[in-house]
Structure 1
Amino acid sequence: MDSLTDSLPIGPLQEGIWLFWQLNPTSPAYSMPEVFHFDGDFDTEAAEFAFNEVIRRHEALRTTFHETDSGVLQVIDRDPEPVPVNVADLRGFSAAAQSEQLQSALDAAANLPFDLTAEPAIRLTAIQVSESRTALVLVAHHIVCDGTSMTIVLDEFGELYRSARRGTPPELKPIAPGYSTFVKRQLAALANGALKEESAYWRERLAGVTGSALPGADRTAARVPGALHTYVVSTPLDDGLTEALSEYARRARSTPFSILLCAMKIMMAAATGDSDEAVGTATSGRTPKFARTVGMLANMVVARSRIDMSRTFAETLEEVSLDLMDAIDHQDLPFSRMVADLHDAGLQPGADVVRTVFSAGANGALKLGEGRLSEVVARTVEGPFDLVVDCDLASSGIALDWEYALRTYSREAADGYCAAYLEILAALLHQPDTTLDSLGLAEILARVAPIPRSDAPSPGAMPPAAQQDRPPDALLTSVEGTVADIWSEVIGVPVQSPHDDFFELGGHSMMAGEAVALVRKKVSRTASLRLLFGHPQLRDFCSRLEADADHASNAVDDSRSPRSVGPT
């Protein structure tokens, strides 16, 4: 190890993000852009000083990641080279062209991928629109920065910028313990068995779970790599609904977030007819010691509830709140290890453990002192989830930011669901002691957000013509057929050819973990994520699996038993 660097294993909370990046190195899906318009005299030199000082203060922001024979290491640069602020100048464009150029520049800055192996996972871009107007885009990758961390970065950047402009020392809190301290503590807890209780809880709680989602179009629709395939809608609650929410939270001894989450689960149940609702929510692993540590400290837990439409909202809220509190009480087990435990115990979850994320965002803002600053929502690309809802619970008001993946939802359906949610929330708060099935929730959905129907075949279904007259090259051996059936089950699309590619079919990092676990159980213990990443085509992958004695008695002589993949 270089004398100017430190290294340690990748943290458990970073593992899933790293796997996604390995599969999608040019995807900015896990980038966290903060976009601002500043009207005033912007000082680029002060911004560059503040930006690099924030990087110096927090080791996560000067970390790169490297694959080694012993696993993934994160390497911390003790004395990094200064990172320049990217500057774009649009002052020479006409007013008509400038608007289009500005949006293009904002999109490019917000979605420029990071090379996690070679550069700090944070970037600042200043776009000069006029002599008195500058757009700022601050982006950090989620592998080194969670929502709370971003509020810390913004707070410190603002103070350092203002101090540079004043020419006085900054008023900053002492540097917090580095992220490496948090990772070492978490790895030690996993190694010494301190999280056995959490593991047992999640194995029991999530047996057979399938992530819940609002109905959408065919989830396997083709997409254009790198395109902005999300649709973001912000729905602020009006004053009357905000007051009703706050008042009912006080009366029910609940929290606004619990009420919003409960309303979401009720809307899902009304839209799908499924009473089993499992939704991901982000939690913070921050103790007071790590309150101002910058890094990936947020974990994902799955809040699973049974929604009985014959009960009242008041009764349902009580149950959903208890479910949420139980999940938070067991938040110390990293999500990636939770999923691995389910596989190892043979409790196969659905194709996706989480399809919908519903969380409360951290409140933070940038303050540059002079001038006027306004924040705007950045357009981003789709990630592994169908829908992410971020609840902004500020003292000035409450708003929900919805990020829909356009592979699943049309913009029309997205707008409809947002409108239906507000109407359903108002109905629940207005009549909390009326049974849910008497509130006309399905009618609200049908009127405001007609549930989309897809003409695509159901997952695993194969058109009859595809099952006939296969060329010899399309015949699969028994091992390939078994693996193909597993891939079909996990991804939700038919695997029809020995040359089908797991990731081109729509598989992603979370699906890869499930697929590998099933192959280990049914075919060969030599299956691994690395093998799947390196050889994603069916025949190539299967040819590298070693014979497993445990499965030998169930194997069929491949040389005598070619077959085609049909419906599972």
Structure 2
Amino acid sequence: MAERRAGAAPDLIPATAMQESLWWVHQRARNRSVYHLTWRLAVDQPLDEAALLVAWQAMVDRHEALRTSVVRQADAVTLVVAPRIVVGLHRVEVDDPGPADPGTLLRLVAEEVHAGPMEPETAPLARITLVRVGDRHEVLLTVHHVVLDGWAVQLLVGELSEAYAAVREGRAVSFAADPVPFSTYAREQAAARVDGRWDKSLAYWCDALADAASAVLEPDLPGEVASGAPGAILRYGFSVEAGAGIAALARATFATPFAIILGAAQLVLARAGAGPDVAVGVVTANRMTARDQALLGYTANLCVARARVTDADTVAGVVGAARDGMWQMLAHQAVPYPVVFGALPEETRTALGDPAPLLLSYLGPIGTDLRLGAVPATLLPSPNRAARADLAMSAWEADGGYLAEIEYHTGRYRESSVLALLHDLDAVLADGGAEPQRTVGSFDVATRARTGRAAPVAVDADRAAGPLPESTDWQRVVATWTDVLGGPPAGPDVDFFAAGGNSLSALRLVDALAADGQPAVDVVRWLGEPTPRRLADLLGNGSQSAPAESTLVGLRDGPGPHLHLVHGAGGSPQDYQDLLAELPEHWRVTASRDSAELPTVPALARRYQADLDAAGLVPDLLGGWSFGGQVAYQMAADQVGRRPALVLLDSAPPVGYELPADDVRQRFDTFTENIHRALDLEPDAPRPRVTGGTEPAGFDERLAVGTLAACLAAVRQPVPTALLAHRWRSYERHVRASAEYVHDGPVDTPALVIGADLLDAQLTQWAARLGAPRSQRIGTDHFGVLHSAAVALVAAAVIDFARVAAARG
């Protein structure tokens, strides 16, 4: 949670070229968590939460990057540094994992925490979440890459540890020196753009990358090339023999471990089909001075390492060339890659690809001797679910050996292909170290690669192409698109960037559409779906409004009595499946679903009745469980003339009640119970408890829903987080609608009231609103009415009531 303190105006700083590029990628990414960085730190004891909060606040006060938001103003991306932000911590607890494996549940919770929204325009772009599953503890530090790189996260963890130790020992948090403000670095970068400081290095890169083409692994699957595509993380420990090979090659060639791993990767790719001209992306820290090495911020850069590898070359020769190329690359690494990429010919940009398909980085001894104060910490595998590129590999030193993590695009590659690359790399390091004069041509590899990436083709290209509508707004879109890209769109759903657009031309496009006093198009809203159709929609008249979708659902056809059911709070027609199975097969059963998302009981009742009328249906019985019974009651009350009989399944009478504003966590517990019963989970299935967040009640809705999704997945009942979030929002809306719903009746129609958790006083309140209803108690709880053995008793009561109601005419 965070609260910005009023006071001095925030400082405005031009974003660096790398930050600006990443901001654009973030807006276009399929999964916006793709540039989140999360360190999973396992600790063997709970931390002092109050002390950690003081230490975390000290970090935010100390470093500009932790108070920075990244916004677009006019045509520029700008850093906004708040003078102070008050922060807090989040906590997730699962007291008893039940049948779930604790390690699996911790991983799933970390994935959900990592994926939680973190929009660049809202500082702080960093958060800490404490997680406990049973007696196992983790600390999750999540930051947005637009303000911090991996080097900076390591610095942050080190300082946070010092600050936590100081607070625990009763000392003031202090450091030997004040930090260099990131704004100083950003302003230096802005000056370098215009003062010619990068000209010599830019010329070097244009020469070094002339006619270059990226090495690309042959894909296994037809997934579309896109940043933020579905991804996975694979952690790999290099063999002892590979570690010995790195040491031997270092002695033979005086190369660093990174240069050796880079050379081995170039050799594997050359043998796999990409050679002899091999180009891969290399992520560098770009910190050449002591000042920059101590800077908390985003300084990292992307360079392209290009090498010539032939079958006659030796392993030592390839590694030596990688060593020399690395020194050249580092000497010119200060020029941001977006500047380099923009200066290259279009053919070269296409062949290299944006983003670069293969990325390598070396993290040195990262993760060694980690601790938070006196508490040792272990760095666990990253919880990413999205991929920046085809493959992005980071290697580092650990416990006398070497580890690697590969983040890969699961829509293009199977895990087996990623493992094949790692095994080939391991073998080259081991065998090449044992025999540095061994030739490249003597290695056989399982990896398959090629050179140059074909222009991206959308999987749904057939859908994207096609005729364009001819409205006035569409004519404006087509004319402006043609002016910016040199030709009209091939169809209403083509991707602007796949058609040759870039960030600057995107701005030109939306600015041109706002000419002549027309309303401006929100470029950020458009970037999520950068198509002509979305542009036309944002202009306001791009497409006619679709007719409202019917809320009516058929559950069973039949000639017998017609029962219409209304969903419970946050529920759906599927919740009645057990009841449906107990009803006679010849009964016709329909239901209402909450696709209309209306805010009150009367509004829902009118809409559901209208859809029944539109279908020409007149139910014999109308009812629902819990909240659904209230809506059914209002539907009957609205009827003129003959009303259907009512079936109210443990529904509270419409007397209204006060809904405490700070009771949201208790409501979420009830919602969790609903979901567990709907999925028929065992009573010991894990249930999360979440605290922290930005709401006054200290409840983070997204985190609570995400951890519930993690708990369900851990017991092999996965429900997409987005679907759970939708159902939770519906549940909250229905609870609020129920709280304000008052109806004094009477409604003159036969009625059956099934009571489970209802009080006798509530049955009396129903009697006053229905005349003379039939009441029947069932020996179960509120949830068991639909999801236990009691449902057979409920069905029997409904069947008998239907017979009596029919006899009454």
Tell me if both proteins adopt one fold, taking TM over 0.5 as the criterion.
yes
Q: Is the 8 A contact 2:386 2:409 kept in 1?
A: yes
Q: Does 1:189 align with 2:183?
A: no
> Following the alignment from structure 2 to structure 1, what is the Cα–Cα distance between the partners of residues 7 and 78?
14
- Report the Cα offset of residue 124 of structure 1: 0.4
> Following the alignment from structure 2 to structure 1, what is the Cα–Cα distance between the partners of residues 422 and 535?
43
Alignment correspondent of 2:531 = 537
Q: Is the 8 A contact 2:366 2:397 kept in 1?
A: no
Alignment correspondent of 2:539 = none
Aligned partner letter, 1:50: A
Q: Does 1:501 align with 2:494?
A: yes
Alignment correspondent of 1:73 = 78
Alignment correspondent of 1:299 = 301
> Following the alignment from structure 1 to structure 2, what is the Cα–Cα distance between the partners of residues 235 and 179?
35
1:254 partner SS? coil
> Following the alignment from structure 1 to structure 2, what is the Cα–Cα distance between the partners of residues 461 and 151?
38
Alpha-carbon spacing, 1:289–1:541, altered in 2? closer, same or farther (3 Å):
same
Q: C-alpha offsets along residues 526-552 of structure 1, whole Å, 9 cap, x if unaligned?
A: 9xx96984983258889xxxxxxxxxx
Q: C-alpha offsets along residues 404-427 of structure 1, whole Å, 9 cap, x if unaligned?
A: 221221012112221122112222
Alpha-carbon spacing, 1:24–1:514, altered in 2? closer, same or farther (3 Å):
closer
Alignment correspondent of 1:545 = none
Q: Does 1:10 align with 2:4?
A: no
Alpha-carbon spacing, 1:17–1:374, altered in 2? closer, same or farther (3 Å):
same
| Alignment map for 1:2-151 (pairs within 5 Å) | 3-24=8-29, 27-81=32-86, 83-94=87-98, 96=100, 98=102, 100-130=104-134, 132-151=135-154
Q: C-alpha offsets along residues 143-164 of structure 1, whole Å, 9 cap, x if unaligned?
A: 1111110111000111111111
Q: Is the 8 A contact 1:58 1:293 kept in 2?
A: no
Alignment correspondent of 1:159 = 162
> Following the alignment from structure 1 to structure 2, what is the Cα–Cα distance between the partners of residues 80 and 274?
52
- Report the Cα offset of residue 314 of structure 1: 2.1
Q: Does 1:274 align with 2:263?
A: no
Q: Is the 8 A contact 2:245 2:432 kept in 1?
A: no
- Report the Cα offset of residue 170 of structure 1: 4.2
1:502 partner SS? coil
Q: Is the 8 A contact 1:207 1:348 kept in 2?
A: no
Q: C-alpha offsets along residues 93-139 of structure 1, whole Å, 9 cap, x if unaligned?
A: 42537555433321111221201112311010001223x53211101
| Alignment map for 1:293-372 (pairs within 5 Å) | 293-343=295-345, 348-350=349-351, 352=353, 354-365=356-367, 366-372=370-376
> Following the alignment from structure 1 to structure 2, what is the Cα–Cα distance between the partners of residues 36 and 171?
24
Alignment correspondent of 1:247 = 248
- Report the Cα offset of residue 228 of structure 1: 5.6
- Report the Cα offset of residue 210 of structure 1: 2.3
Alpha-carbon spacing, 1:257–1:351, altered in 2? closer, same or farther (3 Å):
closer
> Following the alignment from structure 2 to structure 1, what is the Cα–Cα distance between the partners of residues 242 and 347?
45
Which of 173, 178, 181 matches 1:175? 178
> Following the alignment from structure 2 to structure 1, what is the Cα–Cα distance between the partners of residues 103 and 242?
35
Aligned partner letter, 1:74: L
Q: C-alpha offsets along residues 54-76 of structure 1, whole Å, 9 cap, x if unaligned?
A: 11111011111221125121110
TM-score under structure 2 length normalisation: 0.56
Q: Is the 8 A contact 1:277 1:307 kept in 2?
A: yes
| Alignment map for 1:414-433 (pairs within 5 Å) | 414-433=418-437
Q: Is the 8 A contact 2:66 2:124 kept in 1?
A: yes
2:296 partner SS? coil
Q: C-alpha offsets along residues 346-404 of structure 1, whole Å, 9 cap, x if unaligned?
A: 85442615211111115344312445432211220223311111110357322222222
Alpha-carbon spacing, 1:317–1:28, altered in 2? closer, same or farther (3 Å):
same
> Following the alignment from structure 2 to structure 1, what is the Cα–Cα distance between the partners of residues 532 and 504?
12
Q: Is the 8 A contact 1:231 1:411 kept in 2?
A: no
Greater Cα shift, 405-414 or 313-322: 313-322
Aligned partner letter, 1:150: V
2:100 partner SS? helix
| Alignment map for 1:208-227 (pairs within 5 Å) | 208-218=211-221, 220-221=223-224
> Following the alignment from structure 2 to structure 1, what is the Cα–Cα distance between the partners of residues 159 and 225?
42
Aligned partner letter, 1:277: V
Aligned partner letter, 2:531: Q
> Following the alignment from structure 2 to structure 1, what is the Cα–Cα distance between the partners of residues 405 and 250?
21
Alpha-carbon spacing, 1:46–1:219, altered in 2? closer, same or farther (3 Å):
farther
Alignment correspondent of 1:264 = 265
> Following the alignment from structure 1 to structure 2, what is the Cα–Cα distance between the partners of residues 474 and 277?
46
- Report the Cα offset of residue 316 of structure 1: 2.2
Alpha-carbon spacing, 1:199–1:295, altered in 2? closer, same or farther (3 Å):
same
Alpha-carbon spacing, 1:39–1:435, altered in 2? closer, same or farther (3 Å):
closer
Count of aligned pairs between the two proteins = 505
Q: Is the 8 A contact 1:382 1:405 kept in 2?
A: yes
> Following the alignment from structure 1 to structure 2, what is the Cα–Cα distance between the partners of residues 498 and 136?
48
Q: C-alpha offsets along residues 328-358 of structure 1, whole Å, 9 cap, x if unaligned?
A: 1111111111111115x88544261521111
Aligned partner letter, 2:502: G
Alignment correspondent of 2:550 = none
Alpha-carbon spacing, 1:243–1:222, altered in 2? closer, same or farther (3 Å):
closer
1:172 partner SS? coil
Which of 391, 395, 400 matches 1:391? 395
Q: Is the 8 A contact 1:54 1:157 kept in 2?
A: yes
> Following the alignment from structure 1 to structure 2, what is the Cα–Cα distance between the partners of residues 312 and 377?
35
| Alignment map for 1:543-562 (pairs within 5 Å) | none
Alpha-carbon spacing, 1:74–1:316, altered in 2? closer, same or farther (3 Å):
same
Alignment correspondent of 1:436 = 440
> Following the alignment from structure 1 to structure 2, what is the Cα–Cα distance between the partners of residues 77 and 266?
48
Task: Determine which structure has more spread, i.e. the larger CA radius of gyration.
Answer: 2
Q: Is the 8 A contact 1:217 1:452 kept in 2?
A: no
Alpha-carbon spacing, 1:227–1:512, altered in 2? closer, same or farther (3 Å):
closer
Greater Cα shift, 278-287 or 53-62: 278-287
2:172 partner SS? coil
Structure number with the bigger relative contact order (C-alpha 8 A, sep ≥ 6) is 1
- Report the Cα offset of residue 499 of structure 1: 1.1
Alpha-carbon spacing, 1:158–1:25, altered in 2? closer, same or farther (3 Å):
farther
Alpha-carbon spacing, 1:361–1:500, altered in 2? closer, same or farther (3 Å):
same
Alpha-carbon spacing, 1:218–1:105, altered in 2? closer, same or farther (3 Å):
closer
> Following the alignment from structure 2 to structure 1, what is the Cα–Cα distance between the partners of residues 269 and 388?
19
Greater Cα shift, 317-326 or 27-36: 317-326
Which of 373, 390, 403 matches 2:377? 373
Alignment correspondent of 1:555 = none
> Following the alignment from structure 1 to structure 2, what is the Cα–Cα distance between the partners of residues 466 and 283?
40
- Report the Cα offset of residue 233 of structure 1: 2.7
| Alignment map for 1:473-492 (pairs within 5 Å) | 473=468
2:108 partner SS? helix
Alpha-carbon spacing, 1:247–1:347, altered in 2? closer, same or farther (3 Å):
closer
> Following the alignment from structure 2 to structure 1, what is the Cα–Cα distance between the partners of residues 225 and 208?
34
Aligned partner letter, 1:255: T
- Report the Cα offset of residue 4 of structure 1: 3.5
Greater Cα shift, 46-55 or 269-278: 269-278
Q: Is the 8 A contact 2:267 2:309 kept in 1?
A: yes
Aligned partner letter, 1:106: A
> Following the alignment from structure 2 to structure 1, what is the Cα–Cα distance between the partners of residues 258 and 250?
9
2:386 partner SS? coil
Q: Does 1:382 align with 2:386?
A: yes
- Report the Cα offset of residue 248 of structure 1: 2.2
Alpha-carbon spacing, 1:105–1:394, altered in 2? closer, same or farther (3 Å):
closer
